[in-house]
Amino acid sequence: MKKLVRVPQAEPASDGRPGVRGRPGLAALPPLSIYIHVPWCVHKCPYCDFNSHERNGDIPEQAYLQALQADLEQALPDVWGRQVSTVFFGGGTPSLLSADAVDQIISLLRATLSLPPDAEITLEANPGTAEAARFQGYAKAGVNRISLGIQSFDDDKLKRLGRIHDAAQAKAAIEMAQRAVDRVNLDLMFALPQQTLTQCEQDVREALAFETGHLSLYHLTLEPNTVFAKYPPRLPDDEQSAVMQDRVAALAEAAGFERYEVSAYARPGQVCQHNMNYWQFGDYLGIGPGAHSKISFQNRIIRQARARMPDAWMRLAQERQGKHIVEQRELNHGDLGFEFMLNALRLKQGVEGGLFIERTGLSLMAILPAMRRAVDRGLLQPGLDRVQATSQGWRFLNDLQMEFLP
């Protein structure tokens, strides 16, 4: 593990503005989000490549809370005085935490950071751990948005995915969440093992019947270092998957949802603000094992990563010597252009060209050659006022994004 290396304060650029190696500083810092990683789960799903760890018995809740406080307190100098726009509890399975633990975490955030009373606070929950009293407790603690990992309403498909809940538990969890908070997201997957188009459509129709405000509809992919990568199931082919994706989008949009990002659909006023901040290249402080951060200063932008293993992270964070941060690097010009476009191009409407300048401190000239190539290929809309994929570019998003790889 690397020691935390502090990036030295930059010398003023030749024009008097703060900068690193001549790069102009940011005129204003972007919005800041907080991500809290809860690493434990009851069962590791065969498709999951997230930093999640099966836990037999109770999770070490008090040790986790103490380490989380130590992690946050050591991060405060990097974000001091900045207002927090959103909070997201991800995992793993955050709903393994007690309502009291979530209350303590949110209270800690309010005590140490500028967190507005109406800030969006999302908690991911597994239907297999859903309890009405716990959801109500989360809401009382300050959670105002619950994201449920449903994945499917088909019991056979849930078994193939290694989920610990069944369709009946999924439906009950949705109703519990809706009684607890006003904003509920359902995660659903398609192109599942041996799934037909009819089964895919039925899953989406069942999700729509609950009339939640947000849907996340993902294509199942075989990620490296997962059980599915080692033992691939029989999945729909590319042509079948493309038909499913088009049908999923059509059903959601016909029900009043706007597809505003590749996998995200929202009713009016229900867009996930936390994820929008990611896609618009905002800042986020990630605390917890394996959490990543992107933090802007006037003269530089850095990325950090915490120790992945829960026990190691808890021990190192509480030593308060910065060793729980195992990676820290400053983004260079090429990194900035690519990472901005990697995120912004996921949005259906793209972003204003001025946002690139505002969030990176660079001129659009830095990515103009790549933009011209993408326009020539029919993947990017022409012009500098708005950076937006064409319908073809959105369908072949990886190809478009790779144009900006330094």
The pLDDT, as a whole number, for residue 20 is 38
Is pLDDT above 60 for 14?
no
pTM score over 0.75 = yes
Query: For residue 406, what pLDDT is reported?
Result: 85
Q: What is the pLDDT at residue 350? A: 97
346-386 pLDDT tens trace: 999 999 999 999 999 999 999 999 999 999 999 999 999 99
Backbone angles phi, psi at 374, to 5 degrees: -65, -40
Q: Which of 355, 336, 316 is nearest to 74 (CA)?
A: 316
Identify whether the C-beta of residue 332 lies closer than 8 Å to the C-beta of residue 340: no
Protein fold of 32-277:
TIM Barrel (3.20.20)
pLDDT at 16 over 70: no
Per-residue pLDDT tens over the stretch 279-292 = 999 999 999 999 99
Does the pLDDT at position 97 exceed 60? yes
130 has a pLDDT exceeding 80: no
HEC-encoded secondary structure of the chain: CCCCCCCCCCCECCCCCEEECCEECCCCCCCEEEEEEECEECCCCCCCCCCCEECCCCCCHHHHHHHHHHHHHHHHHHHCCCEEEEEEEEECCHHHCCHHHHHHHHHHHHHHCECCCCCEEEEEECHHHCCHHHHHHHHHHCCCEEEEEEECCCHHHHHHCCCCCCHHHHHHHHHHHHHHCCEEEEEEEECCCCCCHHHHHHHHHHHHHCCCCEEEEEECCCCCCCHHHHCCCCCCCHHHHHHHHHHHHHHHHHCCCEEEECCEEECCCCCCHHHHHHHCCCEEEEECCCCEEEEECCCCEEEEEECCCHHHHHHHHHHCCCCCEEEEEECCHHHHHHHHHHHHCCECCCEEHHHHHHHHCCCHHHHHHHHHHHHHCCCECCCCCEECECHHHHHCHHHHHHCCCC
> What is the distance between the terminal CA atoms of the chain, rounded to a whole angstrom?
27
Going from the C-alpha of 312 to that of each of 22, 213, 309, the distances in angstroms are 39, 38, 5
The pLDDT value recorded for residue 17 is: 30
Residue 22, pLDDT > 60, answer no
Show me where the domains of the chain are located.
Answer: 32-277, 333-406
pLDDT surpassing 70 at residue 23: no
What are the pLDDT digits (tens) for 183-219?
999 999 999 999 999 999 999 999 999 999 999 999 9
Q: What is the pLDDT of residue 262?
A: 95
pLDDT at 13 exceeding the cut of 60: no
Residue 11's pLDDT is what? Answer: 27
CATH topology of domain 333-406: Arc Repressor Mutant, subunit A (1.10.10)
pLDDT band for 93, please (50, 70, 90 cuts).
very high
Four-residue CA torsion sign, 170, 139, 294, 347? positive
Instruction: Report CA torsion sign: 361, 365, 369, 373.
Output: positive
Q: How confident is the model at residue 1 (pLDDT cuts 50, 70, 90)?
A: very low
**Res 2 pLDDT > 80:** no
Judged against a pLDDT cut of 70, whether residue 148 lies above it is answered with yes
Mean predicted confidence (pLDDT) in 156-185: 95
- Does 127 score more than 70 pLDDT? yes
Q: Tell me the pLDDT band of 300, cut-offs 50, 70 and 90.
A: very high
Residue 220 reports pLDDT greater than 70 = yes
- The model's confidence at residue 132, banded by pLDDT at 50, 70 and 90, is confident
Task: Collect all residues with Cβ–Cβ distance below 8 Å to 359 and sequence separation of at least 6.
Answer: 26, 30, 280, 281, 282, 296, 340
